A = this chain, B = another copy of it.
Amino acid sequence: MSSQFYDVVHRRRDVRGQFTGAPVPEDVLMRVLSAAHAAPSVGLSQPWDFVVVRDPGLRGAFHDHVRHERDTFAATLDGEAAQRFARIKIDGVRESTLSVVVTYDPDRGAPAVLGRHSIADTGLYSVCLAIQNLWLAATAEQLGVGWVSFYREPFVRDLLELPARVRPVAWLCLGPVTHLEEVPDLERHNWSRRRPLGAAVHHDRWGSGEPRDRGR
Which residues on A are within 8 Å of B, measured CB to CB?
A: 1-2, 4-6, 8-10, 12-14, 30-31, 33-35, 37-40, 42-46, 48-55, 58, 69, 72-73, 76-77, 81, 85, 88, 90, 109, 112, 114-119, 121-122, 124-125, 128-129, 131-133, 135-137, 140-141, 147, 149-153, 160-164, 166, 169-170, 184, 186-187, 191-195, 197, 200-206, 210-212, 214
**Are A40 and B53 touching (Cβ within 8 A)?**
no
Which one of B35, B54, B128 lies within 8 Å of A125 (CB-CB)?
Answer: B128
Q: Is the CB of A9 within 8 A of B38?
A: yes
- Say whether B90 contacts A115, CB under 8 Å: yes
Copies in the complex: 2
A50 touches B202 (CB 8 A): yes
Contacting pair A73 B114 (CB below 8 A): yes
Q: Which of B10, B14, B118 contacts A152 (CB 8 A)?
A: B118
Cβ 8 A contact of A5, one of B40, B81, B137: B137
